[in-house]
């Protein structure tokens, strides 16, 4: 049984002090989950009642967080909430929900669902939705990323879920897709040699810089956490028009409900508990056209591995058995990596491409976590650390130096310039 005692919401429970995978431990035991993504031939009796929360025009329903339940036989959607009347009518029809509500509080009070799906991508709504659901006795929450706007809000969400013993799983599909285990196995096998560094980039489109760090960086940083352990320190640089940002650059961003935001260029260096160094960079409008560079590079003493669009169930990955990382000099070739391994044809079908396959596995894991009284793989405490990694870049820029984890400042650093 997981112990969640302690009154300090900023306290790190023992179970969340993740032993780094690169230090010799697999971070996620996915083996038991992977074969179970297909619909059951005979659905078991409905057991978990699901309430879906969305907001058409302000984050909608995320990447399939509303429809995933149709492939989870032990659940049934009992209601949907959306303050937009037109969006609500469409959601009721799409989800075949028996009831629709414009106020999610009313849905929670009347239906008393076991599980809640928070698909809203605008994170200014996340804190209130999670606290309301926890206080009304839900058993589990599946929520779109990133977590929320500030570490203060994250602490309040942690406190509410600890108090009411609610399991919360983030929609960090990268942690559940089959390729995660394959890449862990490649690292464990020694094919990469000693892992020297991790390098991640955002999409670097019009959102490049600070917004890219928030919206897409959360995905790449989650994979870094899974492979390298919890962050120890961060050194960040945030620029606006090629100069260090100042108070005059901060705007109240409506995008994704993030709030005060600045920077069209970000550079971050993290030191992880495994001893590995990771980097994340994003420059506005510097990205390649689709397919994007967005993803992670794992650079080792014996080779390199590139994994892009990591949360896509069929995400592309390639391995280079070259200590120079330079096929032009070595003559080595990049080898595709499938869900079955290096150079093995992909056995999975394209019907699971996109976010849906990861959503199915994540929800199955959430239900298993409830029944086994453990934390989900993509749990709330890890999500708070992921948020800290984002906030730390701006805090480092504000303070002008290295910052350590956990961060002492729980507010948005950009409001303190």
Residues 163 and 193 in one domain: no
Residues 167 and 215 in one domain: no
Provide the token pair at 330: 């070595």
| Apex 365 CA angle, 362 and 367, nearest 5 | 115
Q: Answer whether residue 34 shows pLDDT above 50.
A: no
pTM for the whole structure: 0.91
Residues 343 and 394 in one domain: yes
Question: Of 165, 107, 170, whose CA–CA distance to 134 is shortest?
Answer: 165
Residues 277 and 336 in one domain: yes
Asked if 213 and 224 count as a contact pair (C-beta separation under 8 A), the reply is: no
Residues 214 and 168 in one domain: no
pLDDT averaged over the chain?
90
What is the band of 351 on the pLDDT scale with cuts at 50, 70, 90? confident
Q: What is the pLDDT of residue 25?
A: 37
Residues 166 and 23 in one domain: yes
Cα–Cα distance, 412 to 414 (Å, whole number):
5
Residues 212 and 346 in one domain: yes
Its domain, for residue 277, covers 178-352+388-399
β-pairing, 167-170 vs 277-283, is: unpaired
In a domain, 407, yes or no: no
Asked if 20 and 347 count as a contact pair (C-beta separation under 8 A), the reply is: no
In a domain, 118, yes or no: yes
Give residue-wise pLDDT tens across range 67-80: 999 999 999 999 99
Structural domain total, the chain: 2
Residues 225 and 142 in one domain: no
Q: What is the pLDDT of residue 145?
A: 97
Question: Of 74, 69, 72, whose CA–CA distance to 54 is shortest?
Answer: 69
In a domain, 9, yes or no: no
In a domain, 2, yes or no: no
Cα–Cα distance, 48 to 27 (Å, whole number):
28
Cα–Cα distance, 186 to 368 (Å, whole number):
27
Question: Of 330, 341, 279, 281, whose CA–CA distance to 302 is shortest?
Answer: 330
Torsion of CA 17, 22, 27, 32, to 10 degrees: -160
Residues 64 and 160 in one domain: yes
Q: Answer whether residue 212 shows pLDDT above 80.
A: yes
In a domain, 120, yes or no: yes
Residues 197 and 160 in one domain: no
Q: What is the pLDDT of residue 289?
A: 79
In a domain, 7, yes or no: no
Give residue-wise pLDDT tens across range 35-87: 444 443 345 566 999 999 999 999 999 999 999 999 999 999 999 999 999 99
Instruction: Identify the CATH number of the domain in which residue 225 sits.
Output: 3.30.360.10
Give residue-wise pLDDT tens across range 366-408: 999 999 999 999 999 999 999 999 999 999 999 999 999 999 9
Q: Where are the alpha helices (DSSP H) in 232-355?
A: 327-330
Residues 200 and 324 in one domain: yes
Query: Measured over all CA atoms, what is the biggest interatomic distance in the chain, rounded to whole angstroms?
Result: 67
Cα–Cα distance, 154 to 225 (Å, whole number):
18
In a domain, 6, yes or no: no
Q: What is the pLDDT of residue 43?
A: 52
Instruction: Identify the CATH number of the domain in which residue 64 sits.
Output: 3.40.50.720
Torsion of CA 415, 242, 223, 361, to 10 degrees: 70
| Long-range contacts of 248-255, Cβ-Cβ distance < 8 Å, separation of 24 or more | 250/414, 250/415, 250/417, 253/211, 255/207, 255/211
Residues 212 and 347 in one domain: yes
In a domain, 1, yes or no: no
């Amino acid at each position: 049984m997981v112990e969640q005692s302690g009154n300090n919401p900023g306290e790190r429970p023992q179970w969340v002090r993740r032993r780094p995978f690169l230090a010799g431990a697999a971070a996620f035991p996915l083996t038991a989950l992977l074969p179970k993504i297909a619909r059951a031939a005979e659905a078991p009796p409905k057991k978990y009642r699901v309430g879906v929360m969305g907001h058409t025009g302000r984050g909608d329903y995320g990447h399939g967080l509303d429809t995933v339940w149709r492939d989870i036989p032990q659940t049934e959607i009992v209601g949907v909430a959306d303050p937009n009347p037109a969006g609500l009518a469409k959601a009721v029809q799409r989800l075949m929900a028996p009831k629709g509500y414009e106020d999610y509080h009313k849905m929670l009070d009347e239906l008393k669902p076991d599980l809640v799906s928070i698909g809203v991508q605008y994170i200014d709504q996340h804190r209130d939705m999670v606290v309301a659901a926890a206080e009304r006795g839900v058993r589990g929450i599946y929520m779109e990323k990133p977590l929320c706007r500030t570490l203060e809000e994250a602490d309040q969400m942690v406190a509410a879920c600890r108090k009411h013993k609610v399991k919360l799983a983030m929609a960090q599909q990268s942690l559940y897709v089959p390729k995660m285990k394959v890449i862990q196995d490649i690292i464990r096998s020694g094919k990469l040699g000693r892992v020297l560094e991790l390098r991640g980039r955002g999409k670097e489109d019009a959102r490049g810089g600070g917004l890219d760090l928030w919206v897409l960086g959360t995905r790449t940083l989650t994979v870094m956490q899974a492979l390298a352990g919890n962050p120890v320190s961060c050194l960040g640089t945030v620029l606006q028009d090629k100069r260090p940002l100042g108070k005059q650059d901060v705007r109240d961003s409506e995008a994704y409900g993030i709030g005060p935001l600045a920077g069209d260029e970000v550079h971050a260096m993290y030191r992880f508990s495994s001893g590995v160094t990771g980097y994340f960079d994003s420059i506005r409008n510097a990205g390649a056209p689709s397919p994007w560079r967005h993803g992670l590079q794992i650079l080792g003493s014996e080779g390199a591995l590139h994994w892009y669009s990591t949360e896509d169930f069929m995400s592309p990955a390639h391995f280079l058995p070259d200590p120079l990382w330079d096929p032009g000099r070595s003559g080595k070739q990049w080898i595709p990596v499938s869900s079955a391994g290096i150079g093995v044809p992909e056995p999975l079908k394209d019907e699971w491409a996109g976010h849906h396959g990861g959503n199915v596995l994540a929800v199955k894991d959430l239900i298993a976590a409830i029944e086994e009284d453990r934390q989900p793989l993509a749990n709330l405490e890890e999500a708070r650390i992921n948020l800290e990694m984002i906030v730390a870049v701006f805090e480092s820029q504000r303070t002008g130096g290295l910052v350590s984890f956990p961060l002492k400042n729980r507010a948005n650093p950009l409001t303190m310039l």
